[in-house]
Structure 1
């Protein structure tokens, strides 16, 4: 059996792929699900949902609770809407979340998932040229504290996922009343400034520590193709004040 595994690894590597068991040790998505189950999460608030691939992956991995996805951009939101229609426990709203209520202008990236209210940095465009801004779009914006009663219940155990391309601090500033009730929080963390005036990973780790959240999982997601340097990672934090 060991020789067969070694052979499979060799064959896959020749094709530029890797062969490994689909277990939580090898795959971040399954580690995330394991953490979600440990904390009995029954509601996901998905901020910066794009077209719903994150929610789709969670469903495929086995998460069966409620989900609410927020996405401001017109094109990906239409795709998200179609996904939500087929799932009675999944809701969506076309809106951005931050620390203001009203309207904003978002920079639309050629690589749509890189779109942000903040200006993209040279480091980001250098590592991914297609991410440069190609357009702008007027969007609705609100705060999580403003809309939480619309989607949450007093007994919910909440997982908050924030993927907002450098706008994380603004979302957190608009969720000060809600954060104490968040059991798990997932953030995109930047090792270098990927958006102008966007926070770095060091800043976010200190901020989350001060708010009572501890980093318990991390997943590298974006590296510079020339240097190999890691640029961004996803991190999961647990609210130490709500640990069972």
Structure 2
């Protein structure tokens, strides 16, 4: 017998709502140009405006064509990361390119209760990030960027979540109207990941850190700045580019080769953005782990429920 949940899903298309059934208790629903809702867990829905682009950014393309698949990929990626953090008993997530704390908040909603160490150099985003992080005593915020070398650099502002230390590529300029303004910048401090790890991991008896990078073309520079200490990370997540949006950023094959050479293996690849007209993926969220560092769970084959640390602090978020 069909459950009420399934009956509702079956009725929604007649109301002009797109439905993608993800299995028991989970679905992605959206109305073009409206809102997208993702059921993250029992009793919890994630709702947000479906991403569309202006005609100047994606000419001659029907708005929202890939909105539902992208929302689904985002939901599946979040679930995958949550399971990996639990299976590998991660107790500290390095959130590089934290923006306003969206990733850390997502981790909390998914059940993670370990330490979060966020890095964000843009003043406006940093202010909001600090407000969010204040709700958790074990969420550190560092007002800087990370890179290959200690330095002071100019970062572009006004590109919203796409602010970068790099110039936009010719492809990036064609794709995103926001890249037309390249004159608004500010000076920010760049540190090396290797140099901040002792402070970030202080107090953890046997740290099992995870590295998340979303730095708009600069991930491989962040990775290089870890030096030999990259070997301490049990897993990582990086935004890799199939089509380069920034000058000087590595192509996907180059980035993946560097990560694999350092001992990480791919556990998941999730499209972040696509070209509306061609369907080509622009960027992927690539999730990786060191298989040798996985923690065996007797009698279990899937992700364990709950946090890596057993901490029961209340969840945080906007």
- When normalised by structure 2's length, the TM-score is 0.71
Structure of greater Rg: 2
Aligned CA distance change for structure 1 residues 9 and 70 (closer, same or farther; 3 Å): same
CA displacement at 1:154 relative to structure 2 = 5.4
The 3-state SS of whatever aligns with 2:206 is: coil
Q: How many residues align?
A: 242
For structure 2, the 5+ residue unaligned runs are 27-38, 42-71, 296-318
| Contact 2:95-2:211 within 8 A present in 1 as well | yes
Higher RCO (CA-CA < 8 Å; seq separation 6+)? 2
Residues 111 and 132 of structure 1 are in contact (CA less than 8 Å); yes or no, is this contact kept in structure 2? no
Corresponding residue for residue 94 of structure 1: 143
Q: Where do residues 72-221 of structure 1 align in structure 2 (5 Å cutoff)?
A: 72-108=121-157, 110-134=158-182, 135-152=184-201, 153=204, 155-221=206-272
Give every structure 1 segment of 4 or more consecutive aligned residues whose post-TM-superposition deviation is greater than 6 Å. 23-26
Contact 2:88 2:293 in 1 (8 A): no
Bigger mean CA deviation after superposition, 171-180 or 71-80: 171-180
Query: Aligned partners of 2:100 and 2:11: how far apart in 1?
Result: 35
Partner residue in 1 for 2:56: none
How many Å apart are 1:221 and its aligned residue? 0.7
For residue 227 of structure 2, give the secondary structure of its aligned residue in structure 1.
coil
The question of 1:49 aligning with 2:98 is answered yes
Q: How many Å apart are 1:18 and its aligned residue?
A: 4.2
Instruction: Tell me the CA shift for residue 146 of structure 1.
Output: 1.0
- Residue 8 and residue 23 in structure 1: after superposition, are their counterparts in 2 closer, same or farther (change >3 A)? farther
Normalising by structure 1, report the TM-score.
0.91
Deviation string 1:40-62 (CA, Å, 9 cap, x unpaired) is 00101100000101101110111
